[in-house]
Structure 1
Amino acid sequence: MDCNPLNFISAIEPLNGGNYNSRREKVETALALSDIDLALTAPCPIEPKDPVRAENESEAAFNARVHDHAPIRMQYDLDRAKWGSSNRKCMMVIKSSILEAIRGVIPECDTAREYLINMESQFTVSSKAYASTLIRKLNTMKYTNGGIRDHILRMSNMTSKLKSMDMELPEEFIIHLVITSLPKEFETFAVNYNSQLEKWGIEKMIDMCVQEEERLKGSSGDTINYLSQNKKRNYQNNNSKLQGKPQWNASSSKAHGKAPMHDHHQRSNHEVVVDKDTCKWCKIKGYYQKDCVEFLKHLCGKGIPYEEDPAKRREKH
């Protein structure tokens, strides 16, 4: 196992305003594992007062007190040097893991402990906003796939973060949040839980949910496609726009005698049925479309020569 202190320190995530609580735990852990957290766990040593000779005190008695005070002074100097080194290193680690834009809003101070207190006072509002975000996620979180154990552990991790911000949720309430986050396939499981008097803890809830998921997989061929809880898109309005507008095609037009649409003639959008001996172009009875003068003149506009003789026209058509 690599116990290099630099590895613990480099693992500290930068402070970005919304991760104060989780980051502070990592900072304190890294400093402790690096054995430089003395300035956080102990106050600064108090300097002892040097002995002062009293008016009626003999020189021998004073020298004896000075001699007795020497070890105390020496121990203070050692402790003060050790604490000062720890305080300096802690300040360097804490400040180096804060974004420069945020570092400027934290008041300066002489000790690492005071600096952490100032950080806490600055990010109290951010912590409240972060707590609101966690609560909102817990209320709206839904399980879709990926392992129900991981899903419940993610929810449990969110509640532990709230606990660190003095917003601890009762375990029974967490269990109900988990139940409501399960998909429709777990409805029978939820009914069975609500109908019994026994109350489960997180660990038992995980075990029972895993067993239920395995049962569902076994009954559906080892795979589960959980139904999406999103609303289905309604296509009825779009389809209704097409109602009443018949679509022309060659087969329906030929079967019912529907007239084709042309640019210079206005035709009805509704289907038109004509008699057998009626021209499909001008809708006049007595001749067919191939004998219609108006239709033949229209063809002349398309580059087809007009034949005056009806007999020859029949031969061509």
Structure 2
Amino acid sequence: MAFISHIPPLEGGNYRVWREKYELALALSENDLALTSPCPATPVDPVRAENETNADFTTRQRDHAEVRMKYDLDRKKWGISNRKCLIVAKSTISDAIRVSILDCDTATEYLKKVESQFTSSSKAYASTLIKKLFNEKYFGGGIREHILKMSNTASKLKPMDLGLKDEFLIHLVFASLPKEYETFVVNYNMLSDKWDIEKLIAMCVQEDERLKSSHGDSANHVKDYKKKNFNKNVKPQGKAP
């Protein structure tokens, strides 16, 4: 119940979050069998073959009894899981949405009907995420946080089968950087090796610190230069002739 209590009610715009929390809660409480495995198939009772001896048929019946016993146990376990999955799903969906979803015998069928209610909204959400990734720009404030933010946005596309490869995400990150990083990006493109996100973050942080240090030295140099020139232009004050 502690895991289930963390499932947010499905109210329309939070389908993705609801589905993730729903599956996580059932997995952690070990009640997700009906979501991960199909219903066990009923074993066919043995039929005596023509010219089969009583002993052979009896042996097959005995073997089948063990198969049937295992099936009964597995079917009961699966049925309990299926019932719990359905109850949890229905109890965490708002009344306005639940009344529009037809009942199903299995939790997987019910979840497919729930998903179909949000297909169009999911597409719109995916378009929003993709536009956000392509329009993202870095204006300072911590490049590590900037990359993690873009990586988190990209990860939200995975449940919709629109996950991005690391290499593509890395180029999107490069495209979001200002001109100061142009040489850095060119050097990467000349490398034969490919980075993952962790390597990208480490190298970008290093480059960010180098640029900040370089800009700081330049600023101090300009400041000192102006100060020296200002002092040269100031005439020493003395007694009037």
TM over 0.5: yes
Using structure 2 for the length normalisation, give the TM-score: 0.70
Identity %: 61
Farther-moved stretch of structure 1 (210-219 vs 153-162): 210-219
- The CA distance in 1 between the partners of 2:58 and 2:194, in whole Å, is 73
Q: Does 1:87 align with 2:79?
A: no
| Aligned residue runs from structure 1 range 57-206, under 5 A | 69-182=64-177, 186-194=178-186, 197-198=190-191, 201=195, 202-206=197-201
Structure 2 vs 1, CA of residues 16 and 210 (structure 1 numbering), >3 Å: closer, same or farther?
A: farther
| Aligned residue runs from structure 1 range 4-19, under 5 A | 6-19=1-14
Q: Which amino acid aligns with 1:179?
A: F
Structure 2 vs 1, CA of residues 118 and 138 (structure 1 numbering), >3 Å: closer, same or farther?
A: same
1:44 deviation in Å? 1.8
Name 1:45's counterpart in structure 2. 40
Three-state SS of the structure 2 residue aligned to 1:7 is coil
2:27 counterpart (11, 26, 32): 32
* Equivalent residue pairs, number: 213
Farther-moved stretch of structure 1 (112-121 vs 125-134): 112-121
Encode CA deviations 1:70-103: one digit per residue, 9 max, x unaligned.
Answer: 4444333322221111111111222222222222
1:154 deviation in Å? 1.3
Q: Identify the structure with bigger relative contact order (alpha carbons < 8 Å, sequence gap 6+).
A: 2
1:111 deviation in Å? 0.5
Farther-moved stretch of structure 1 (124-133 vs 60-69): 60-69
CA contact (8 A) 2:10 2:18 kept: yes
Encode CA deviations 1:206-237: one digit per residue, 9 max, x unaligned.
Answer: 1222123333444567xxxxxxxxxxxxxxxx
Uncovered stretches (5+) of structure 2, i.e. residues with no partner: 217-241
CA RMSD of aligned residues (A): 3.4
Encode CA deviations 1:235-280: one digit per residue, 9 max, x unaligned.
Answer: xxxxxxxxxxxxxxxxxxxxxxxxxxxxxxxxxxxxxxxxxxxxxx
Q: Which amino acid aligns with 2:151?
A: S
Q: Which has the higher helix share?
A: 2
1:175 deviation in Å? 2.7
Q: Which has the larger radius of gyration?
A: 1
Structure 2 vs 1, CA of residues 153 and 16 (structure 1 numbering), >3 Å: closer, same or farther?
A: farther
Uncovered stretches (5+) of structure 1, i.e. residues with no partner: 1-5, 222-317
CA contact (8 A) 1:18 1:130 kept: no
1:139 deviation in Å? 2.5
Farther-moved stretch of structure 1 (189-198 vs 87-96): 189-198
CA contact (8 A) 1:12 1:23 kept: yes
Three-state SS of the structure 2 residue aligned to 1:214 is helix
Q: Which amino acid aligns with 1:151?
A: H
- The CA distance in 1 between the partners of 2:14 and 2:208, in whole Å, is 34
Structure 2 vs 1, CA of residues 146 and 205 (structure 1 numbering), >3 Å: closer, same or farther?
A: same
